[in-house]
Structure 1
């Protein structure tokens, strides 16, 4: 079949495709003339289903189905497309679609499978008739690749696993009557599930398959998005390195200490190689690396990093305290905030959020005042003295209130309430 025939078949199939049930996402999106919307984020976070939700949202606001064309470029039939087929593409879209307010929306999923996809998208934008949304594998369509391919003609949106609000929506739990003890207890039950088992959409919706899905997702990220993409030759060593990183989830990773550890085993790997491996995991959206808060680049780069998984499902050891911290780190990333950790002598603050006013945050699994280590409070008071007054907060399991330490007011906020504030 010719490229034109394949395109026609795929487009007509889309117009008869029954859209699946989707969970509405709280991710803002907009269609901008002359710029593409690029969806980036980890594997299995729901980018394709977010596209389906956009379709349903636009149709509810008057868009006809024929004004929206979705193509999954992982479809084997579309592997025949080459830049020379661009004319056939325009011909089929013009013939099969129907404009809405002078525009057609093109949604190109797994766009990395289209040769020279950046040039395709830029050329389509130049024609002035199309809104475009692109998405793809986290190994090939990261923010850096989008910037290179689209040369500033894009707006990106980070699609992460479900927020807690979205998680509750998927579970059909409403946010009313939370002061009723039974309702609060059910909410905390959902929170425990969210923290301990993660929020990857398919796992939330199919919990009976959780262990198999988590293993499959991890292997795909590790071997396709890291090993294959970056052509890592010493896979056995990388697997050992990865195991050490995963065992450190919720704690610190020091390149110097890792280097010394491997040297003690007679394994000679440079610090640059180890640093690159850690960066690859971050770029593949498998880990979040939290740098030390500081005012100079040198001060930040030379310090260990706290490492969290992109979803708590990837924790190897199920300890609720570090997993709460991880949920907070992911939520801070979702909110697009600039944050780091801070150590002052023997005191540590889990997160310093660098905005106005600056916010200092500790995370602890506590539901009563006597369960909170006084060092948590003293660290907040100490950092407030060192960096200037801001908002000092302890995120707890289900304790709410205020206290004052050395003249510093400290607010205690339940994790569920903090997550729902965003």
Structure 2
């Protein structure tokens, strides 16, 4: 667990944070000229863990991911945190995998568990969430009020370290393509060294504020903004348009086409951006 290192090695260690393979790294393991769209689907449905590239069949990949999941839940969390209700922990884990990209509060999770017939206290949910993030199975993104320039205490989002784990745990349950893409972009921003938050501007939401050495950047992520009346594009641009500073603003989508600027907001193909 991440917290144990700080306790055991206080003042005598350097923490190097690592993530599974980026899409660019995953792409480099395949022949040049391979379809990026097809490989993106492999990337999210199989796994971004390096060893998964050595496995040939979906069955072998699933067994490998099940081993990782069981090791994290049973050894890193259950044993070290002395959690007694394994099934409740698994229920909370499934909830987070099923709500990637959605605002989650400990009360909402506790109420959902209780309504399903498994009563759980809010502070117990907090302990489970701390354990799941300390074991790096999930990452917590807090919210930031752009206009008020302050961090918000409620409404975090949780993103999975590997989308393949999500499919392993939830099976073939349909996922929101936009939220899965959001998860991929969030992890990539972490890889690039940014502090990443969910942005609030009035009543609107900006998917990500990325804070780096050169300042802030704003990102909106949508699987596609192509529709008959242009309403989707208008909706996705609105939160970025509401920000009045001059920091870089990006709209990332799976749509192909030349780079477009909307009043200073750069619209990019997300797969090209991931490969930069």
Q: TM-score, normalised by structure 2?
A: 0.84
**Does the 8 Å contact 1:311/1:330 carry over to 2?**
no
- Taking the aligned partners of 1:157 and 1:170, their CA distance within structure 2 comes to 24
C-alpha displacement of 1:299: 4.4
Q: Indicate if the aligned counterparts of 1:366 and 1:396 stay in contact, CA closer than 8 A.
A: yes
> Which deviations, in whole Å up to 9, do the C-alpha atoms of 1:212-244 show, x marking residues without a partner?
222222122111111121110122322222222
1:380 to 2:237 alignment: no
Correspondence 1:414 to 2:269: yes
Q: Which residue of 2 aligns with 1:199?
A: 48
Q: Which runs of 5+ in 2 are unaligned?
A: none
Output the CA distance in 2 between the equivalents of 1:206 and 1:279.
32
Q: 1:300 aligns with which of 117, 142, 152?
A: 152
2:6 aligned partner: 147
- Does the 8 A contact of 1:262 with 1:269 survive in 2? yes
* Match of residue 280, structure 1, among 119, 131, 143: 131
Match of 2:222 in 1: 364
Q: Could you tell me the TM-score, scaled by structure 1's length?
A: 0.57
* Counterpart in the other structure of 1:335: 192
Question: Deviations for 1:332-389, whole angstroms, at most 9, x for unmatched residues?
Answer: 222231111123344221101123341110111128586753210111111x12xx22
Label 1:194 to 1:236 Cα distance change in 2 as closer, same or farther (>3 A). closer
Q: Which residue pairs with 2:20 in the alignment?
A: 161
User: How far did residue 147 of structure 1 move?
Assistant: 3.0
Question: Residues 155, 252 of structure 1: CA spacing in aligned structure 2 closer, same or farther, 3 A cutoff?
Answer: same
User: What SS class does the counterpart of residue 36 from structure 2 fall into?
Assistant: helix
Structure 1 or 2, whichever has the larger Rg, is 1
Residue equivalent to 2:142: 291
| CA-CA distance at 1:154 after TM superposition | 2.8
RMSD: 2.6
Greater RCO (CA < 8 Å, at least 6 residues apart): 2
Q: How does 1:179-218 map to 2 (within 5 A)?
A: 183=33, 186-208=35-57, 209-218=60-69
Gaps of 5+ in 1: 1-138, 174-182
Paired position in structure 2 for 1:403? 261
Distance 1:333 1:346 in 2: 26
1:307-326 pair list within 5 angstroms = 307-315=158-166, 316=170, 317-326=174-183
- The offset of 1:204, in angstroms, is 2.3
Corresponding residue for 1:347? 204
